[in-house]
Structures are given as structure tokens and as C-alpha cells.
Structure 1
Amino acid sequence: MALRCAIAVTSSRRFCGLVCFFCCLLTSASAQRAGMNDPNSLRGNSIAYNSDGGAVIVVTVFTESSKVRLDRQSVVRLLNKRTQTAVWETTTDRSEAVFGSVQYGGYEIEVSAVGFLTANSELEVGSSQGPFEINVVLERDPAAVNLNVADDAMPSRARKNTRRAVAALRSGNLKAAQKRLGEAYKLVPTSAELNFLLGYLYFLEKDFEQASTYLDYATSLNPRHLQALALLGRLELERGDFRTASSALEQAVAVDAEYWLLHDLLAEAYLKQQNYEKARDEAQLAIQKGNKQATPAQLVLGQVLLNLQRDQEGLLALKTYLEDSPGSPMAPKVRDLIDEIEKRNPARSSDTENKQESTTASEGVDPLLALGEPTLAMKGWQPPGIDDTELSVASRINCPYEKVIDGSGERVKELVDDVARFSAIEELLHQRLNSLGDPTRTETRKFNYVASISETDPGLLLVDEYRAEHLSPAGFPDQIATNGFAVLALVFHPRMRDAFEMKCEGLGDWHGQATWLVRFEQRDDRPNHIHAYKVGGAVYPVGLKGRAWITADNFQIARIEAELVKPAPQIQLLAEHQIVEYGPIPFQKKNTVLWLPKSAEIYFDFRKHRFYRRHSFNHYMLFSVDTDEKRKEPKASHTENIPAPNT
């Protein structure tokens, strides 16, 4: 299948094309009206049912007690134990799922929701008047991230103050940082990121009590917040609470076992508790994973080995530390310790006095002093990568992969089969960004946007876009035109999806709605018809990988994120990240509902500049396959050269 889409860039010296494809997904209302007993779909939220020839089962889902209904959508699986066939339902706003026309016999009921442990129940369905009512109580999953906190949903004002606070922290301007963080905290006090930053601020000010309060709260809001866990562990080492320090650092290592510093700090926490075997293992892991960067871990390892009566190995580790860090402020104390050990009999005496003396001497060199002040990890100017995001998925539930892929494919196929053209008012926000992600230049545009999709021949799918006055790239901000919003969702089209590796990652949640998470990535052995850049007349296909949030009830694509499989340095394209969100748009005259893009965002690093662009759509109009309707395209309006406010 071939697709035709393009985005272009121009400059005063040469023409350069940039193709950045977003997507829109249209699905007809008929798909949403699938029958309640269709085993090939996960059905909608209506509680109407058909009881002809069978029983009715009503499942109500509660949380932690039988008085509070679950505050998010869950998925209920009904398995016939005799035939081993399963039917799926999603719960309504009242947290109820209804199964109609259920044959008599034994059934297993499985209920899953993000942030909760999957619950199972059994039911024997016999002849009875009225429906079978089952109440299921879900227990919270202690390993799940708190879904009530969403830093990516931070209001723009809070996000702006947070970025400026981070810049102030890096510059050492703690007073300005505290002011900015305070303003942001008033708006989002339950942000794990803000609580971490405040903990970091108070740590730098040596107010360990306040720092501990904010860091504790940050880790309770997000138990996998790596920086908060690491800093909390280091803080407790400073305060001498070694047991609490080791607990926090053990959690941090569970999140990221590859970061050498976590193993180094954990080794010191074990050393202080005289748990020498564990301390040795963690110090060796730190050295293995950090190499020369992990030189401070040699200091911990040396002292651990001395306490294990392995003097020669301990001395070797201490000398390695001095060789790698001759200018360290700890060097004089380490040399004194080495001299003290070498003056003793090489075969150390085993009497208690010598053991006590050695232990006291070795623990007198504080490895924590060999580390510099903790630094703030650079916050990315773009969202976290597809593979860097820690997903929250329901526990112990198998994804019905074929149903999800086939169902979403059918929804996308309806776009091609039933819709010829649609239009909308498009508002464009374009910004150049600095290294911190702050805008240095802002421009806006407004267009009449029209997209047409057609399948001219079997296997040939054409997607065309139009804007006011058929603008050339020179009419767009920074002379970069972005087209192709109707393309990315076509990754799931039955004729396109074989070009991608796909994996269902589990049952997730999007704004309280149960969604299946599907990861996709362009295959190297298949042609790339989705994404390409055009530079100087040459076309450079660029592979994408991403993730889709597909509703569990009717397989609508609610959100897609995508990024480059790898950079394309030959055209100076170092990064690109797309986020497209969708919502149902009713068309009363056509008596149909389509899922269309509400917004599309792109972050990209191209030709040594970083950009952010947001497209918003409203006032949709739908053109049927046989319509002759046309919409006059007004002249584009725009506002140029709005400088970023001075800070």
C-alpha cells in the first residue's frame, strides 16, 4: 500500500522538504453500536441487554469496600468453563458491566483495572427470575504508580514556573527557584515532580527536615520516581538514618539497576550497618556498571574488604581510588589509612583489639565525602521516549491481541471505505525552543484545513491535504510545513500493519477509560510508506516506533505517541516526538459520530534547531463519498514574531 503525503521546508538559499506525519482516526457510529453479544468486540458502555434464550449477568465493581464504586473503567471477562469461550465487557460510568443472553452453566468472571489487582470469581448460571447480580471488590496494587498524579497534565502556568525554577536551581539561584516552585506548588501540590524539586532545593539549603518531608511525599505519590528515591537515600545517609537510607536506595535500584551511583550509595548504607557482604556486592556492582565514573565506589569497597579481614584486596581498592582521584579531598585520609594498615603485620592479628581498631579506622573515612553535591538531572526539552516511559497496566490480565488488532484495523478501514473528505478550522502554534525547552520565538496561524482519503486501486491509498490558498512551505512558521495528519493511525490498517512489529503491552488507562496499550515499530525488512523527509529533492524514509491507546470497549484509537526509531544525521534530524489525541465528533446532519484529532503536537530537533508545534482542530465538516459540497477556503490569518516574555 502506498501513501502520498508531504511536508516541506524552504530557506533563502535552497529548498528542503520536511515530512512529519500525524494522524487522524475516523470511526463510524455504526461501529459503536455493535451488538452486546458480539464475541469479536469489547463492547460499549450501554447497560441495555438481550435476555432472549438465556440469563443476564450484572457485574458491579467496587474499590476496597462494597460502598465505593470504582472511579475508572474496568474490563470484565466472562469465560464459559465448558466451552472455554470468553466474552468481554467494559464497565459503564456506574462501574457496571452487563452480559445478556448467557447460556446456563458454569462461568469464571475476571475483573481488571489499572492500579488494582485483578479479581476472579465463579458463578453457576441456572434458571432464575431476573438478572444474576455479582459484586466484585478490587484491591489496590501496591506496585502500581499513583494514577491520581499526572505531571504531564500539569497546567501550563505551573509547567512554565517549574521550567524556570529548574533553570534557577542549575544557576545556583535558590531564592528565585523557591519563588517559582512555590507558585507552581499552589497549582499542583500533588505533583511528584514538584515535591522532588522542593526536596532538592531544601537539600541544597541543608534543611534536611524539610527536604525529607517533600521527598517522602514525592516517593509516596510516585514510588518509581528515581531522582526522589536516590536523593532521599543520600539525605538519610547524611542524617545517619542508615536503615531508612538503604530502604529508599533498594527501591531506587529496583527502578534502575544500571545506574552505578545507586549501587554505590546502597553499598555505603550497608557498610554503615556493618552488613559487609551486601556492601561488598553493591560496591562491586557500582564499579562494574560505572567503570571510571564509579571511582568513589573503590573507597567503599576498600573499607568493606578491610572489615572482612581481606587487607591486601582492600589496600588494592584504596590505592586504585587514589590513582583515579589523586586530587580528591579525601586523598590525605585515604593515604593515612593505607599507611596504618601497611605498618601492621601483613597477616593481621585476630585478637579483638586489632579488629576493633581496624574497624574504627576504616569507617573513619566517609565515602560520602568523595561524592560531589548531587546534581539535577537535565529535564528533557521533549517528552520521555517511548521506551523510557514506565507504564501502569492492570496486573494479571492477558491482552486479547488479535481482537484488539483486528478491531482497531476495522475502525481505520472504515475511514477509507466510508469517508471521502472532511474539513476543520486549524489553529497552529509554533515555537523555537532553547536547551531548557523554553520558547524563544512564537508564531501562530489559522487555516481552513481539508483532508481527503481515497483508495484508487487495491493496495494504493492516497491521502491529500489542503490549506488556505494552497500555501507553500514559505507560508508556514520557520518555513516548515507539517502535513499528513490522516496517516499515522493507518499503521493499524489491515494492509499496513504487516510493516510493523506490534505488541499489546496490557490494559492501561486514559483519563479514566480502560485502554489497551499497543506498541508498534517499523520493520527493517518491510517498505516504509508512512514517514519520510524530503531534502533537496531527495526522499529519506524515516522509521517510526510508538504506542497507541485503544479503547477497550470499541477499539477507538484515543491517543498515539510516536518517535524516530533512530536519528537521521545525514539530514540533521536528531529527534522527533509526536503526540496526537482524539475525541468523538458528532455530525448531526450525517447522523454519525467520528473520532477525529483534537490536537496534535510535535517536538523535533532539525538542522540544529529545536521546535515545538501544536495543531488544534475544531468546527469539523464531513463530506460523504458522493457529495459535491465544497467549502471556500478563507485567507489564512497569522500573528508573527511574538517574542518570549523576559524572565
Structure 2
Amino acid sequence: MQEHSWDEVLALSGRALEMGSFTNFVAYEYHAAANLNLHNLAAAEKSGLRAADLDREHREPRIYFVLAQIYEAKGDFTKVAASLHEYLNYTDSSSDAAVVEQYLSNLDKSTQAVRGPHSAETTDKADSASNRWAPPDIDAGVPRVLSNSSSCPLPQILKQASSHTLDLIENMRRFSASEQIEQIEIDRNGKRHNSGTEVMNYVVEVEETTSGYPAIKEYRAGVSGMRQAAVLDSGAAVFALIFHPSHIGNFEFQCEGLTDLQQSPAWQLHFVESDDSNKAFTAIKKGGTIHLPRFKGRAWISTDGYNVLRIETDLVSPLPKMDLQREHQVITYAPVEFPARHIRLWLPDKSSIYVATHRHQYERVHTFADFKVFSVDSMEAVKEPSGKKPDRFFSKTLAGSGPFEVGHN
């Protein structure tokens, strides 16, 4: 297609979005493709990701192929591989799948050639379990940056990000939202089966404590439900609290450089939790045994307001005693405007958790929408649900293998 034709596609798709087709993933897909071919890569990535988010029934796997082309143009081959694996999960074209699989095979060989022996030793097991159904391990590669770590004011970034967690806590107590939870089971061939979707009303209660770290509890009331889910999780929406003054000192941070995320310049940080079990951020309980896993991850912090844009995490190592081979999380945050109140809050947008045991693989996706803001005083109306009070910040249960409870200290 000629460049002037892509100008027309961009104009037409942009007009469709301006007319209110904000839930039309096809319009976003064409908007992404046009921007890609016109070399507007940041805009292309934003529209492509929006198209993928909206296509929740995965009717158009071509979206992931477009995203792969975008990341190839940006030189981010880790995300190229992740997007193409997503494409393979949903495409019905065997001929296209064969071509993509060959490309991935060649890409994997080139990646292995440059990967160090220690990295290969620590990540190969996780990568083999996640090649076709989950994002790559955090240490499988470093996403592309625009400038290297020498330009990073790391102490200032951590200080400001830590300060902004107090704003996040205050924001969390001021809103309610509609939460869609999608449960997906992945078979041994890497194919995804939509196990069901439920829609919940979501609200958070924040209680002050003498320790200075607030007690944060999530409440969900069902609107529509699914059959019993194999994986239950909660608390990921406030995972950015690893930057809270009570916890930030328990992580080793390394700035990898300045990058571009969601059309915003952002500092890219890698982090690893310390091995001090007395300060563990999470605790996983199975039966009567409590495990304190260490995790590692990557965070993207906006340069203008030092808000957390995105967090990805992995376990430092599997938990064989619990048959937990992998737990990968992706959490994104975004600003939400409330014109009637003339306020703008930075809130959780979406979180995904990928869980792998010896026999099963699951993905669970939380998407927040229909935000409503209210006075903090109205929190007095929030009542504790009947039954046993929850004493864990995060909780997760794998059906048939005993309860997993992941708690925040």
C-alpha cells in the first residue's frame, strides 16, 4: 500500500474513533497499522495495545501480528516474541502459524547465542514452561531503552516514586469501579480456552494502623459470575506499594535507562527482593505451610509525575514443594479524569497473573472500567462482608491442590 493510502487509513480510522467508536477494536487495529507504516511507532503501539485489550474474545489474532511488527521496528525483540506467541495462540491459519513458528525458532537461536550462561541456567526452566502462553521471564532480555543507565537519577526516582505511593493509597480509597475478571486455562499445546468471565463491583477500604502502613482491603460484589474458578487472586491492583517507604528498602533497584511507554517518557527499573524473610512482601500458604517467595521484576516510572505506569514480576525461583513453577504478573496504571469533580486520579487499569503448576497453566485478567469517585467520608458506608475477616492482602487458590494464600506484610 502506498504511503498516501496509509494517510487515508489513518484519517478514516481516526475519524471512526472521534465519532465514539472507542470500543471498536478493528478501528484501533487499522489506526495502529497506519501509524506503523507512517513510522509513528509510539502512536502505533498505543493503538495496537488498545485493540488487543478490546478484543477480549480474540476474534482478530492479526492484532498481535501488527504489534509484533511495531516492536520489530522499535528493536524490542522480547516483545516481538511475546506478541507472536499470542498470535499463535489464536490464529486458525496453519500456513501462517508455520511461518511464524519458523521465525520464532530463528529468533530464539539468536537470543540464546547472546544470553549469558548464568541467565540461561536460571531462566530456561521458566521459559520452557511459558514460551507459548505467558510473557517471557523478566530476565529473558532487557527491553529497549532510549538512553542508558548513566542518565538515571536513581535516588531521586525512588524518593519521588515512594512519595507518590501515599497518593495512590489516598486515590484507592476515593473510587469504585466495575471490574471484569476473565479466567483462561491453557492446555499442553499452548491453546487458550476461555473458562469464563465475571463482572464485579469493586471498592477498596483503607484503615490507618499504628505501624504507619495502612491496612488495605478489597471488596467485590458479584454482578454476573462464572463457574468455580481454578485460580483466585486479589491485591495486584496495589502492587505499586513495593515503593512504599515501609518496603522500598527491602528491594535492590537498578535503573536500566529512559524509555517510552504509552506515549510517555519513563524510567525503566529492574528490581529484586532481598532474601530477608522477616521483611518478605508476600507470603504463600498451602495447607498448614507458609512459604515466603522472593520475587523480581521491572517497573516503569513516568518522568513527569513519577507515577508507576507498569509493573511486571516473576518469582526468583520456582517453589517445587508447592508445585508452583511460575507466577508472572503484569499490572498497569493510568490517569482517570472526573470532569464533574475537576479531579484526576492515577488508578489501576489492568492486571494479569500467569500461574504454572506441573499439570496446569492459567491466566487471570482483571480489567477496571466505569470509575466513580466519592468523598472519603462516604467510606463509612463500607461494611465488612459476613463471614471470616480476611487477613491477607493477596490471596490465590488453585482448585484441587489446596489453598494458596499470598499475604502482604
TM-score normalised according to structure 1 size: 0.42
1:394 is aligned to 146
Rate the CA distance shift 1:179–1:466 in 2: closer, same or farther, 3 A: same
Matched, 1:575 2:326: yes
Quick one: distance in 1 between partners of 2:337 and 2:349? 13
Instruction: Report how far residue 526 of structure 1 moved.
Output: 5.2
Q: Is the 8 A contact 2:82 2:136 kept in 1?
A: no
**Deviation, structure 1 residue 257:** 5.9
Q: Map 1:25-40 onto structure 2 (within 5 A).
A: none
Q: Which amino acid in structure 2 is aligned with residue 527 of structure 1?
A: N
Deviation, structure 1 residue 436: 3.5
SS at match of 1:384: coil
Distance in 1, matches of 2:251 and 2:81, equals 33
| Alignment CA distance shift 1:452-1:606 (3 Å) | farther
Asked whether the equivalents of residues 382 and 437 of structure 1 are also in contact (C-alpha less than 8 Å), the reply is: no
Give a deviation string over 1:287-333, Cα, whole Å, max 9, x none.
Answer: xx9xxxxxxxxxxxxxxxxxxxxxxxxxxxxxxxxxxxxxxxxxxxx
1:604 and 1:611 in contact (8 A); partners too = yes
SS of corresponding position for 2:229: helix
Q: 1:415 aligns with which of 165, 168, 174?
A: 168
Q: 1:484 — aligned with what?
A: 235
Q: State the secondary structure of the residue aligned to 2:246.
A: coil
Deviation of the 1:504 alpha carbon: 1.4
CA shift for structure 1 position 446: 0.8
CA distance in 1, matches of 2:238, 2:161: 14
Q: Deviations over 1:554-577 (max 9, x none)?
A: 111111001112211222211100
188, 191, 216: which one aligns with 1:435: 188
Contact 1:161 1:181 in 2 (8 A): no
CA contact (8 A) 1:463 1:486 kept: no
Structure 2: distance between partners of 1:257 and 1:545: 18
CA contact (8 A) 1:584 1:593 kept: yes
Distance 1:155 1:382 in 2: 8
**Aligned match of 1:465:** 218
1:419·1:623 contact (CA, 8 Å) conserved in 2? Answer: no
Structure 2 counterpart of 1:522, which letter?
A: E
Q: Distance in 2 between matches of 1:577 and 1:155?
A: 13
For residues 236-286 of structure 1, the C-alpha deviation after alignment (integer angstroms, 9 at most, x for no partner) is xxxxxxxxxxxxxxxx84x23659xxxxxxxxxxxxxxxxxxxxxxxxxxx
CA contact (8 A) 1:164 1:180 kept: no
How far apart, CA to CA, are the structure 2 residues paired with 1:378 and 1:450?
A: 33
Determine the structure 1 residue equivalent to 2:88. 162
Q: Is the 8 A contact 2:89 2:133 kept in 1?
A: no
* 1:404 equivalent among 149, 152, 157: 157
Give the conservation status (yes or no) of the 8 Å contact 1:421–1:452.
Answer: no
1:618 paired with 2:369, answer yes
Alpha carbons of 1:155 and 1:425: their partners in 2 closer, same or farther (altered >3 Å)? farther
Q: 1:456 to 1:421 in 2, by over 3 A?
A: farther
* Number of equivalenced pairs: 311
Distance 1:465 1:72 in 2: 34
1 CA distance for matches of 2:351 and 2:177?
14
Residue 506 (structure 1) shift = 1.3
Distance 1:622 1:540, change over 3 A: farther
Q: 1:195 to 1:594 in 2, by over 3 A?
A: farther
After TM superposition, give the deviation of residue 415 of structure 1 in Å: 2.6
Q: For the residues of structure 2 that align with 1:69 and 1:610, how far apart are their CA atoms?
A: 37
Return the alpha-carbon distance in structure 2 between the equivalents of residues 417 and 164 of structure 1: 40
Measured against aligned partners, the alpha-carbon deviations of 1:20-65 in whole angstroms (never above 9, x if no partner) come to xxxxxxxxxxxxxxxxxxxxxxxxxxxxxxxxxxxxxxxxxxxxxx
Amino acid at match of 1:426: E
Query: Which of 335, 360, 378 is the aligned partner of 1:627?
Result: 378
- Give the deviation of 1:422 after TM superposition: 2.6
Alignment TM-score, normalising by the size of structure 2: 0.64
2:123 matched to which residue of 1?
none
Q: 2:205 aligns with which of 452, 458, 466?
A: 452
What do you get for the CA RMSD once the two structures are aligned? 4.0
Matched, 1:178 2:95: yes
Contact 1:487 1:530 in 2 (8 A): no
Q: Distance in 2 between matches of 1:628 and 1:395?
A: 44
Amino acid paired to 2:187: N
CA distance in 2, matches of 1:159, 1:418: 36
Contact kept, 8 Å, 2:198 with 2:223, in 1: the verdict is no
For residues 392 and 558 of structure 1, do their structure 2 counterparts lie closer, same or farther at Cα, with a shift above 3 Å needed?
A: same
Q: Does 1:497 align with 2:256?
A: no
Q: Which runs of 5+ in 1 are unaligned?
A: 1-67, 74-143, 169-175, 183-192, 201-214, 216-224, 231-251, 260-288, 290-375, 634-647
Cα distance, 1:455 vs. partner?
A: 2.5
CA distance in 1 between counterparts of 2:175 and 2:250 reads 27
Letter in 2 for 1:552: T
Measured at CA, do residues 537 and 446 of structure 1 come closer, stay the same or move farther in structure 2, by a change above 3 Å? farther
What is the rounded CA distance, in whole Å, between the counterparts of 1:498 and 1:541 in structure 2? 17
Superposed displacement of residue 388, structure 1: 0.8
1:541 pairs with 2:400: no
Q: 1:572, 1:155 → 2: CA distance?
A: 25
State the one-letter code of the partner of 1:379: N
Q: What is the aligned partner in structure 1 of residue 26 from structure 2?
A: none
CA contact under 8 A between 2:208 and 2:214: conserved in structure 1? yes
Q: Tell me which residue corresponds to 1:368.
A: none
Q: List aligned pairs for 1:8-407, cutoff 5 A.
A: 146-147=73-74, 152=79, 162-163=88-89, 177-180=94-97, 196=103, 225-227=107-109, 229=110, 253=113, 255-256=114-115, 258=117, 379-396=131-148, 397-407=150-160
1:448-472: CA deviations, max 9, x gaps?
111122332233421101111699x
- Once residues 466 and 503 of structure 1 are traced to their aligned partners in structure 2, the CA distance between those partners, rounded to angstroms, is 35
Do residues 530 (structure 1) and 389 (structure 2) align? no
Aligned equivalents of 1:499 and 1:470: distance in 2? 39
**Is the 1:522–1:528 Cα contact (8 Å) retained in structure 2?**
no
Q: Distance in 2 between matches of 1:152 and 1:427?
A: 25
Aligned-pair distance for 1:154? 9.2
CA contact (8 A) 2:253 2:272 kept: yes
Q: Residue 511 of structure 1: CA displacement?
A: 3.2
Distance 1:148 1:521, change over 3 A: closer
Gaps of 5+ in 2: 1-37, 44-70, 121-127, 385-409
The DSSP-based 3-state class of the residue aligned with 2:209 is: strand
Question: How far is the alpha carbon of 1:628 from its aligned partner?
Answer: 5.0
Partner SS state of residue 457, structure 1: coil
- Assess if the C-alpha contact under 8 Å between 1:421 and 1:453 holds in 2: no
Contact 1:430 1:477 in 2 (8 A): no
Aligned pair in 2 of structure 1 residues 437, 530: CA closer, same or farther (>3 Å)?
A: farther
- Give a deviation string over 1:104-149, Cα, whole Å, max 9, x none: xxxxxxxxxxxxxxxxxxxxxxxxxxxxxxxxxxxxxxxx974177
- CA deviations 1:415-448 (Å, max 9, x no partner) are 3356534321111111111133212452111111
| Identical-pair percentage | 30
- For the Cα contact (< 8 Å) 2:89–2:192, is it kept in 1? no
